[in-house]
Amino acid sequence: MKKWTLLKLFGLFLFGNTVALAQTLVLNPQHNRFLMNEPGQKPRLDLIIRSFTDTEKRNLGPLIVMDTLNKPTVRLLRTGTHQVRLGRMAEQAFLVIRDPDELPQGYFFKVDNQMVGAAELSPQVVSYQVGKELCLAGPSLPFGKAEVTISLCESTGKTMSELRITFVYPKPELVYVSIQPEVDFRVSDTTEFRKFLPFFIRNKPTYSSGSAVPDRLCMGEQGLFFGFKKVYYDGKVQDSRVYYRAAVRDPWRGTSKEKTPFIELAQNMENWNWLTDGSHELQFSYTREHPNVGTYPFTVNHHWYSSLGYHTYLTLMTLRLVTLSLFRIPWLAALLLCLILYFWFKSRLRKTKDVARKTNLELQSIQAQLNPHFVFNALGSLQGLINTQDLDRANTYLSGFSKLLRSTLYQSSKELVPLSVEMETIENYLKLEQLRFGFVYERVVDPRLQNLDPEVPTLLIQPVIENAIKHGISGMRNQGRLRIDFAVGGSDLVITIQDNGKGYDTASVAPGKGLALTHERIKLLNKRGYRMNMQTDSTGTRVTFTLKNWL
């Protein structure tokens, strides 16, 4: 009994700041009170509020950030649930469970829907005693969050009591602006800061108070450090973090967590991205949600950055340094030359690949236009046979056309096909057109090509043969003559299409869409590195393809 009395008196003497040996903190009722303080016998969450003493207000006020104005308020939302507004840097608050004797087995806490087991609670204090009432300690309250929901739950997850707490934070208070980080500073005397700063920033700063924080400042290339007062919460000076940004478009960043947090604004690409010349504003807050933001105005003037003389001087000095280095260190010159050549060839190769890719896409586009053009004309021939009631020939034509269509669709996905395959496709096409128009054709192949069988662009000459039939000999019936020669001219492959039709003026626009697409296709193939041309003689009855250096 005497031991308990002495322990209680010892706790009262220290005004609730000493942990008893039994892990029960005895609090002085004169300075501590329950916030909800609702009568009841069921276990429920409550807050014990410890008021500032006059000594704390008098001695700590100028040295730290503390809030003596915001008083905690509470509002009942529904049975067992309270909405609390609490100054996080004001009167000290302890989260407790009142009437814990009726707590069920396996109870637990949830903080923002995250389960908190008993093992995660602070081991220093397991209970508080105010007067004769003993309460179990709950989780510690977070610093830096704007809102938190704390729930007391049964083992089944059912909520017994809940507090929805909105924290109120004051604005962080600047105590100095410097070009060097200062951790161990004296708030009571910042004279040295005021003497030191003007030597490193543009224009003489002005001060409206006795602190080491200018009303505003103008700086150029120097980095800046902004130091803040220490903060007071949970009954003592604690580590804290300040969130900040140097421009409205920048994301919010956080300082390291320490008793005297400071912000570094260094002029580099990783921090504030070379703020443009003009007026800016540093914004800072204790929370990520930024409900209470402090501001500090400053001006950026890169006087050297926009100076023509400075750039000229910098260029000359750079050239001088490079020249001396190259003459004195030959291997460095060789290395630099190799790097220049490497990046030059890499750039040329990238441009060549881009041109080839573009040309290939254009070539595919032209080839895609040829296929439906060919099919459309073939269907026109089939329609002509049907219209003349020549059903037997129409059926024969349709059978041959289906075979030809399969072959054409298979080849159309390829840029080059063997000459024998291309000639077989042309032969099938000529038989179909001969069935309709009755002309006579002849195909002459150089014997040397049968052994070589070179690859040729697929369906390259088909539009020309189609044009010769349609515009040259279609109306001549068995008087029409068509000759196709595949010849060897040295290392060239020469293909000639000749008909005895009326021809056309080569100076005018070529008839039909097929010839125009063929001309365009030859241009694109030549861009890809091939060498070929297409010539039409003056009578318009002969077209010659020359595939240079093809064999």
pLDDT in tens, 60-91: 777 788 888 888 999 999 988 999 999 998 88
The two tokens of residue 237 are 């000076």
More confident residue, 414 or 360: 414
DSSP run (H or E) holding 408: helix 391-412
Q: At what angle do helices 330-387 and 513-527 cross, to 10 degrees?
A: 160
The two tokens of residue 299 are 């001006």
Q: Are residues 113 and 222 in the same domain?
A: no
Strand order in the sheet with 92-98: 24-27, 127-130, 133-137, 92-98, 44-50, 32-34
More confident residue, 493 or 53: 493
Residue 338 lies in a domain: no
Q: Are residues 207 and 79 in the same domain?
A: no
Average pLDDT over residues 376-403: 74
Q: Are residues 240 and 353 in the same domain?
A: no
Last residue of a domain, one of 136, 168, 200: 168
Which pLDDT belongs to residue 159? Answer: 93
Give the pairing of strands 481-489 and 492-499: antiparallel
Whether the predicted pLDDT of 181 surpasses 70: yes
Max CA distance (Å), the chain: 137
Which pLDDT belongs to residue 269? Answer: 44
Contacts of 53 (CB under 8 A, 6+ apart): 15, 31
Contacts of 543 (CB under 8 A, 6+ apart): 464, 468, 496, 497, 498, 534, 535, 536
Domains of the chain: total: 3
Number of alpha carbons in the 13 Å side-chain half-sphere of residue 417: 19
pTM flag (> 0.75): no
Last residue of a domain, one of 121, 142, 168: 168
Residue 324 lies in a domain: no
- Judged by average pLDDT, the poorest of 55-64, 114-123, 206-215 is 114-123
Which pLDDT belongs to residue 392? Answer: 75
Q: Are residues 373 and 447 in the same domain?
A: yes
Which pLDDT belongs to residue 64? Answer: 87
CA dihedral in degrees (425, 427, 433, 436; nearest 10)?
-130
**CA 491 distance to own-chain centroid:** 55
Q: Are residues 271 and 396 in the same domain?
A: no
Q: Are residues 357 and 461 in the same domain?
A: yes
The burial of 174, by beta-carbon neighbours within 10 Å (0-12 exposed, 13-18 middle, 19 or more buried), is given as buried
Domain span holding position 502: 347-547
Q: Write out pLDDT tens, residues 20-39.
A: 445 888 998 888 999 988 77
Number of alpha carbons in the 13 Å side-chain half-sphere of residue 139: 22
Q: Are residues 287 and 355 in the same domain?
A: no
Which pLDDT belongs to residue 359? Answer: 54
Q: Are residues 468 and 487 in the same domain?
A: yes
Instruction: Find tokens 């096409």 and name the residue.
Output: 429
Q: Write out pLDDT tens, residues 455-503.
A: 888 878 888 888 888 888 888 888 889 999 999 988 899 999 999 887 7
Concatenating the DSSP letter of every residue in 262-273 gives EEEE-SSTTTT-
| Alpha-carbon gap, residue 47 to 93, rounded angstroms | 6
Residue 337 lies in a domain: no
Q: Are residues 35 and 123 in the same domain?
A: yes
Residue 401 belongs to a domain with what CATH number?
A: 3.30.565.10
